[in-house]
């Protein structure tokens, strides 16, 4: 049973996580001021991230990125968030970029925990809003964190419900369905989120079809809002959304209540 379970774990993880250990760009390439951040998880894996402050009174966005590439591939997006006065802390999961270790589902959650503790401490010290943002797979981390920790708001983009839903869409070979609904399970956790949630989803997303995003939205408690990005697929949401996308992003954060306590 143990060997079979381990084999299934490896199979699922090979279909979900696509780490790139090579940083393609640096913040300096975009003219961005930043802090190099090193974290240690509870299982003693060293993680790397970048912190981009937007000012002492400006909100902090904990950016949980998607399943491929690494933090260096999100710098254009980060630059546009900074232009809206939103500070960003982005980190790499284990095995991605300069972070050590090998990515697993369990490690994915431990990495998110470590990043959250850093971001929460910084936001609390500066008395600024903390918003957790997750795109695609990163939305699973965002829901996980917001379901058990304190934050002022959550933004989910192109996020799926659980592995079972994705297996039905994409796995090219039969995978036992039993228990898959509990793997990378945002659907089972989202009801515990107490902060307001803003959803973005492209109506031409062929990786996570918009109906799956709507299912996650329907399960979420109030307050919540679903924004359909007309014409957008899975990886071009903020590009096709343009200025209206970033305006809505910024307005959601601006309208959140004052920062929650520690």
Question: What CA–CA distance (Å, rounded) separates 171 from 167?
Answer: 5
Does 136 qualify as catalytic in the annotation? Answer: yes
Give CA separation, 64 vs 46, 92, 191, in Å: 17, 8, 20
| Catalytic residue of the set 136, 152, 158, 201 | 136
> 142: closest CA among 216, 210, 236, 228?
216
Helices and strands: H and E segment counts in the chain? 7, 10
Burial of 204 (0-12, 13-18, 19+ CB in 10 A): middle
Q: Which residue has the tokens 């399960």?
A: 219
Question: What CA–CA distance (Å, rounded) separates 225 from 79?
Answer: 25
Does 170 qualify as catalytic in the annotation? Answer: no
Contacts of 4 (CB under 8 A, 6+ apart): none
| Catalytic residue of the set 48, 51, 201, 234 | 234
Does 51 qualify as catalytic in the annotation? Answer: no
Chain-centroid distance of CA 220 in Å reads: 17
Q: Catalytic amino acids? A: 136, 205, 234
């Amino acid at each position: 049973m143990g060997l079979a379970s381990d084999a299934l774990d490896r199979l699922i993880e090979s279909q979900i996580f696509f780490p790139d250990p090579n940083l393609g760009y640096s913040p300096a390439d975009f003219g961005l001021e930043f802090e190099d951040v090193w974290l240690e998880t509870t299982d003693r894996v060293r993680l790397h991230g970048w912190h981009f402050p937007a000012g002492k009174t400006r909100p902090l966005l904990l950016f949980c990125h998607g399943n491929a590439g690494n933090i260096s591939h999100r710098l254009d997006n980060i630059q546009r968030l900074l232009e809206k006065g939103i500070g960003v802390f982005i980190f790499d999961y284990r095995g991605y970029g300069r972070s050590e270790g090998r990515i697993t589902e369990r490690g994915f959650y431990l990495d998110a925990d470590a990043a959250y503790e850093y971001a929460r401490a910084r936001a609390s010290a500066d008395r600024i809003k903390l918003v957790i943002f997750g795109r695609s797979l990163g939305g699973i981390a965002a829901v996980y964190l917001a379901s058990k920790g304190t934050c002022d708001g959550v933004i989910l983009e192109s996020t799926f419900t659980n592995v079972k839903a994705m297996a039905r869409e994409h796995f090219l070979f039969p995978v036992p369905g039993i228990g898959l609904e509990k793997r990378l399970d945002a659907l089972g956790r989202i009801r515990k989120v107490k902060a307001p949630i803003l959803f973005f989803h492209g109506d031409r997303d062929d990786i996570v079809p918009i109906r799956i995003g709507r299912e996650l939205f329907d399960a979420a408690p109030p307050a919540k809002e679903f924004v359909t990005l007309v014409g957008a697929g899975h990886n071009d949401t903020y590009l096709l959304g343009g200025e209206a996308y970033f305006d809505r992003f910024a307005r959601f954060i601006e309208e959140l209540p004052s920062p929650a306590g520690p």
